[in-house]
Structure 1
Amino acid sequence: MHPALSHAASPLPRSRSASAAWWRRCEAPTVALCLVLYPAWGALVWWHSLLPAWLLAVCGGYLAHLHFSLQHESIHAMRGLPRWLRLALVWPPLNLWLPYPLYHSGHSQHHVNFHLTHPQKDSESAYHSAEAWQAYGRARRLLFVANQTLAFRLLPGPLLRLYRLGFDEARRIARRDFSHVPAWLGHAASVAPLLYFVVGVCGMAFWQYLLCFVYPSMMLGALRSFTEHRWSESPHARVAIVESNAVMGLVFLFNNLHHVHHRAPTMPWYEIPAYFRRHRAEVLAANGNFYWRGYWPIARRHLLRPVFLPVHPVW
């Protein structure tokens, strides 16, 4: 398989049956999940005062990150639906912090497999070029190394992610590049009615929504992406498989089986586990056995130990 797989390519053989064609054409599992997610989120916000804070954070973070996973799904899959409907199903900004158009464009750039882990060309790379690393001060280097531990990535790591987003957007404006302004204005217009419902209608404090929905969702995202990619000569060996349970698989829409996703980006989330089971040996051979059996082994090994030094060995 070519290392720079087409964004739209998929090696998965498709069923010829009429029922399977209908299932795929209507995106029934994904649409059903959306139709369950939004009422569940609304009910949780409405009755938030009845739950202890820890349970609200568990449920709120889970639902908010499931929505983020559905946004990811809409970028790659849901091809049986018209584009406007794919967008409408995932547009409400439950996570508040990232405009969907910016996520779409940045993540699409990430899927040029040959550029995976490149400090400049991969929008989601955790690596820095050797030249940039040499220019950093000691405190900045320590910060980036600490961010390669799971404890840091989960706890203050989301704040670092928000800081870097804000810094990059401010620098873009300083260069008189206003190309992202429409996305931010549209995002603000979408966030306003959502916060009116949360704060004005349901009486939840804004800080409580941040702490019980947004931040736990970002922590889940940080957990999933923590060991997703590493440098290797082979582009396929740069992408991990983390085999976890159904609860974690659902909130990530099985994107934890990440190498399968990079092999076939348009494969619907509900087909990924079966594909991995059928082609397990082939997938693990292709990615150099870059494999973890769940998130507990990752935590035990890298809670306080960096997963890798974030200086790219080539670029």
Structure 2
Amino acid sequence: MTTSVHPSPIRPPRAAWWRRYETPTLLLAAALYAAWAALLWWHRSLPAWLLFLLGGCLGQLHSSLQHESIHAMRHLPRWLRHAVVWPPINLWLPYPLYHSSHSAHHVNFHLTHPHKDTESVYHAAHAWQGYGPWRRWVYGANQTLAFRMAVGPWLCLAELARGEAARLWAGDASRVRMWLAHAFSVAPLLFCVIQVCGMGPGTYVLCFVYPSMMLGALRSFTEHRWSDTPHARVAIVESNLLFGLLYLYNNLHHVHHRAPTMPWYEIPIHFRRHRAAVLAANGHFYYRGYGEIARRFLFRPVFEPVHPLW
């Protein structure tokens, strides 16, 4: 059964109209899709480096909105909550698969478990013993920020493909329908990218999908670590407004695990009001921004890849 580290904070009995209709999130979604379409339409007018930065930011923001739809937006019907974030801007991950795997991640007593936590980068000791030297080197290097951001996205895609192929090889076709639906969703999006806006598929992958995955790897790099108590397994990264909006304040990750349904725009307010209590609860697992993380772990492992318990 899924449990939170702490119960959600008590809310007033009647929400303001802008919260009742999810106005901040819907306006943000509308702005995101408008900016994405504009960036595609005028992409030839921009230098490659700027297209890379803006495309990656929009892709990451879309991933953050998908995360928001899984946990929050509770005043909207389920079908509308999903429809708002369904367009597969990042191409590679079907929304239903992200929804189910991320929900499993929120079983807090499973956090960091090599097999039960779907977002863990730890490896069980018995599995590690069976890896060859090259695989051990790759997983070890993946504990550094430079490798995780540069190579990690391709490693993630390879792991996804390997897992889905193994599932099919074992005779489990339960996800075939989901992947077909995803393909039918990707097809019109790529038609708009290629035929309407004149952008090559390779350019889209390199300037939208890849930098988006890099930013996602930055956010998740040290979100979780092993500790004897679930409270201290979830980090706080107190970053600036840019990263706060880009990640919809999921960088204040312990607050999110504490109250998963809290809307993104309430998370920083809650953290400021309860800062001392939050940091005490997570054992001061805290970073003062992503600059600190980069200085400490750009080329140095954040932790050993073998889980100390399993």
Q: Which runs of 5+ in 1 are unaligned?
A: none
Q: How does 1:158-307 map to 2 (within 5 A)?
A: 158-307=153-302
Q: How does 1:16-27 map to 2 (within 5 A)?
A: 16=13, 20-27=15-22
Return the alpha-carbon distance in structure 2 between the equivalents of residues 203 and 156 of structure 1.
Answer: 28
Q: Which position in structure 2 is the counterpart of 1:314? A: 309
Superposition RMSD on alpha carbons, in Å?
A: 1.4
Partner SS state of residue 267, structure 1: coil
Q: How does 1:49-128 map to 2 (within 5 A)?
A: 49-128=44-123
8 Å contact kept, 2:4–2:257:
no
TM-score in terms of structure 1 length: 0.96
Alignment of 1:13 with 2:38, yes or no, is no
Return the alpha-carbon distance in structure 1 between the equivalents of residues 220 and 207 of structure 2.
Answer: 21
Task: List structure 1 runs of 4+ shifted beyond 3 angstroms.
Answer: none
Return the alpha-carbon distance in structure 1 between the equivalents of residues 298 and 270 of structure 2.
Answer: 31
Return the alpha-carbon distance in structure 2 between the equivalents of residues 198 and 5 of structure 1.
Answer: 41
The residue type equivalent to 2:163 in the other structure is D
Return the alpha-carbon distance in structure 1 between the equivalents of residues 109 and 195 of structure 2.
Answer: 48
Return the alpha-carbon distance in structure 2 between the equivalents of residues 209 and 308 of structure 1.
Answer: 33
* Aligned positions, number: 310
Single out whichever of 22-31 and 300-309 deviates more from structure 2: 22-31
Pairwise CA distance, 1:23: 2.4
Partner SS state of residue 216, structure 2: helix
Pairwise CA distance, 1:134: 1.1
8 Å contact kept, 1:5–1:263:
no
Partner SS state of residue 125, structure 1: coil
Partner SS state of residue 223, structure 2: coil
Q: Provide, for residues 162-190 of structure 1, a one-character-per-residue CA deviation record: whole Å limited to 9, x for no partner.
A: 00000000000000101111111010000
Partner SS state of residue 23, structure 1: helix
Return the alpha-carbon distance in structure 2 between the equivalents of residues 275 and 6 of structure 1.
Answer: 16
Instruction: Determine what percentage of the aligned residue pairs are the same residue.
Output: 68
Pairwise CA distance, 1:21: 3.4
Taking structure 1 as reference, are residues 260 and 217 closer, same or farther at Cα in structure 2, changes over 3 Å only? same
8 Å contact kept, 1:10–1:267:
no
Q: Which position in structure 2 is the counterpart of 1:145? A: 140
TM-score in terms of structure 2 length: 0.98
The residue type equivalent to 2:3 in the other structure is L
Pairwise CA distance, 1:6: 4.5
